[in-house]
Structure 1
């Protein structure tokens, strides 16, 4: 089975206030059966700020945009473990970017994707 969490990256779609959608490729990691993403540019990222304001979000799955919910993670232990998941999944191939993703600015933007049960299995 090839799920969202198995992918190297996903396309996260966020709806603008004027109704337009914009997509951004983001790295996704799995921890205890949940999927997590972070903003590589911390709180400066426009998609992250839109999500915090309650913007609609979706992931691209099987050629379709499927709605998902993103929730901010405040638990420092979960944030630390997500950092370990980023290191394990991407560290050998992308050590510099992984250290950026695990820096305090990006780590503070850790979000859990929920409602992924609606996402169909993805083709490889």
Structure 2
């Protein structure tokens, strides 16, 4: 499934995104607020603190969840992007820099560069 143009613009333009993944019983976990970027017609998220960040581990393991941003509330899938996919990783890095560089290199550096590439997830509506 792909994003419709309006939701893609709203979520991609939102300053922050809230992400949740399901518990074992199927209920939603509390939302966690993170950054999100749009690269082309896709939306991406990364873990600012590496692959051991609890929200990231849960989202990666479940492969599904919910997001809220820009007035959009959607059930989504989380698809890991191979760190070796340099074209996508560079596009996501550039999108993070364009959107968030005003917060300074120390903060933006937590979601850009080779160390963050292993935690890149594409979010798609389901």
Counterparts of 1:100 and 1:64, CA distance in 2: 26
Counterparts of 1:13 and 1:95, CA distance in 2: 27
**Equivalent position of 2:76 in the other structure:** 68
The alpha-carbon distance between structure 1 residues 52 and 7, as it changes in their structure 2 partners (threshold 3 A), is: same
Structure 1: any 5+ residue segments left out of the alignment? 119-124
Counterparts of 1:86 and 1:61, CA distance in 2: 16
Secondary structure of the residue aligned to 2:88 is helix
Structure 1's consecutive aligned runs of 4 or more residues displaced over 3 angstroms after TM superposition are: 61-65
The answer to which structure has the higher strand fraction is 1
TM-score by length of 2: 0.79
Question: Over the residues paired in the alignment, what is the CA RMSD in angstroms?
Answer: 2.2
Paired residue for 1:86, among 68, 90, 96?
96
Q: Deviations over 1:62-91 (max 9, x none)?
A: 777421111111112201210111011101
Counterparts of 2:71 and 2:41, CA distance in 1: 23
| Count of residue pairs the alignment pairs up | 116
Counterparts of 1:56 and 1:67, CA distance in 2: 7
**Equivalent position of 1:121 in the other structure:** none
Q: Shift in Å at residue 41 of structure 1?
A: 1.0
**Equivalent position of 2:3 in the other structure:** none
8 Å contact from structure 1 (residues 37, 110) kept in 2: yes
Map 1:29-48 to 2 at 5 A.
29-48=37-56
8 Å contact from structure 1 (residues 71, 111) kept in 2: yes
Structure 2: any 5+ residue segments left out of the alignment? 1-5
Counterparts of 2:23 and 2:70, CA distance in 1: 23
